[in-house]
Structure 1
Amino acid sequence: MIIVDIKLLSGFTADPGELKNQILVERVDSKDDHIIMYIKELQRNIPINYELHITQVLPVKNLKPAVIKVYDYYQTSDQSETEYNSPCV
């Protein structure tokens, strides 16, 4: 199982239900300022795209990037991470 941990940008919100009906998604949770997506399994070298729309609810000055971590549920040392910012296109 693959975990995708999406930290939301400061002052932003998202609807985790938006990801629940996506391909291979087993479960989606929301905790504090994180959206946690559980993916059944991925095939090597076959890209899959997911979209999560975020909405700014509070203005934040000097907005810092947020981190998205992807890791194996059973082997957490197998991981990757990247940052995103707003606007994220």
Structure 2
Amino acid sequence: MVIIEVSLLSGFILASRSRTLLEHRTIIKKIEVEANVVYIYLEKLNDESQTFILQLEQVIQMKNLKPAMIKIYDYYQPGGLQISSHSGAGS
């Protein structure tokens, strides 16, 4: 199982429509949303490229947003971690 862990930017939440659209993708097994992190569980990945779009809603106006992290790892071997950062499309 592969986990995509998306830290949300400060002041943002995952849009409910975005979650619904993600849940309808066959590759996604489960989605968990915590206060500032979205966990996307995939049964497996192959060599085929995948794109996941998460639409966020700003609920609190923040200044000087810091980049947030995206982590991708195998549930059974979390040491093989891939990390990236994001700052949002509008930044």
TM (norm. structure 1) is 0.90
Letter in 1 for 2:3: I
Q: Per-residue deviation at 1:88?
A: 5.5
Matched pairs, number: 88
Moved over 4 A (4+): none
Q: Distance in 1 between matches of 2:45 and 2:64?
A: 36
Structure with the higher fraction of residues in helix conformation? 2
Let me know the Cα RMSD of the aligned residues.
1.6
Structure 2: gaps of 5 or more residues: none
Q: Per-residue deviation at 1:18?
A: 3.5
Structure 1: gaps of 5 or more residues: none
Q: Per-residue deviation at 1:17?
A: 3.3
- Whether the aligned pair in 2 keeps the contact of 1:17 and 1:28 (CA below 8 Å) is no
CA 1:69–1:54 in structure 2 vs 1: closer, same or farther (change >3 Å)?
same
CA 1:68–1:88 in structure 2 vs 1: closer, same or farther (change >3 Å)?
farther
Percent pairwise identity: 30
